Amino acid sequence: MSAGLRHPFCRELSTGAWIVSTYEPFSVPFCNDGGPMLVIPGNLVSYWSGADQYQPGVSYRPPPDDYERACAVTEFPALLDVGPGRAIVLAESLEPTTLVSWLRLDLQPGVMLALDVDPRDQVDAERVLDELRRAPEFGWEPAIPEYLIASDKLVLMHAVNDGASVELPSGRWNFAAIGNYLPVSVLPGHYAVERRRLDIEDTLVLRLRPL
């Protein structure tokens, strides 16, 4: 994303035009049909190899691929080494990640991830926003004390994909899925990752707060 913080959910098309999410302050949702999700700085995406095409029955079993490493995490969220940095793994086996969306609010520092909230459902989305706005600093718990982002972009993608192959969702769809990625603009630096369980249907929100 070449325009820095021009807009939190901008996508640059090949024509140079810009389109934004119609669900602001949410991004379009990532619809996950199973398996871990990945939050990874833009400069590390090319290092992520996803799932190797291992053929059962062959005599050689290679070391665990990146997808297998993501599947093996036992914490939520978890950190995983990727190239010269680290990615955040959201394990579907530990918390529901059927729908994951970026979220940014004026009263909240940094950027957030809303889990199992459908921004296309205006009623549910407004209930989540209302609770966060009424008590912006209430209920946050530490998850990862310090996380370095050496990029001006974070990417949300499925861990099964390799970073070189993921694409932005097509403009005609109102969601992302396996094979896609959702970028968000950030300022490079150190962040604390925090989690908050909302009263609304046990909704979980993650926040990356600048340190």
4-22 residue pLDDT tens: 333 344 443 333 333 345 6
Domain that holds residue 43: 11-210
Would you call 65 helix, strand, or coil by DSSP? coil
pLDDT for the residue numbered 33: 87
Residue 165, pLDDT above cutoff 80:
yes
Cβ partners under 8 Å of residue 123, min gap 6: none
* Residue range 180-185: mean pLDDT, rounded: 92
Q: What's the residue count for the chain?
A: 211
User: Considering the domain boundaries, does residue 4 fall inside one?
Assistant: no
Q: Which range (17-26, 106-115, 146-155, 177-186) has the least confidence?
A: 17-26
User: Considering the domain boundaries, does residue 95 fall inside one?
Assistant: yes
Number of structural domains (the chain) is 1
User: Considering the domain boundaries, does residue 33 fall inside one?
Assistant: yes
User: Considering the domain boundaries, does residue 1 fall inside one?
Assistant: no
User: Considering the domain boundaries, does residue 2 fall inside one?
Assistant: no
The answer to whether the bond into 77 is cis (omega within 30° of 0) is yes
User: Considering the domain boundaries, does residue 204 fall inside one?
Assistant: yes
pLDDT for the residue numbered 53: 57
* Residue range 105-118: mean pLDDT, rounded: 89
Residue 1, pLDDT above cutoff 50:
no
Model pLDDT for residues 30-73, shown as the tens digit of each residue: 999 889 999 999 999 999 999 875 555 555 556 778 999 999 99
Cβ partners under 8 Å of residue 186, min gap 6: 110, 111, 149, 151, 152, 153, 154, 208
Whole-number mean pLDDT of the chain? 84
User: Considering the domain boundaries, does residue 3 fall inside one?
Assistant: no
pLDDT band at 3 (very low <50, low <70, confident <90, very high): very low
pTM of the model: 0.84
Percentage of residues in the chain having pLDDT higher than 90: 58
User: Considering the domain boundaries, does residue 65 fall inside one?
Assistant: yes
pLDDT for the residue numbered 79: 97
pLDDT for the residue numbered 18: 31
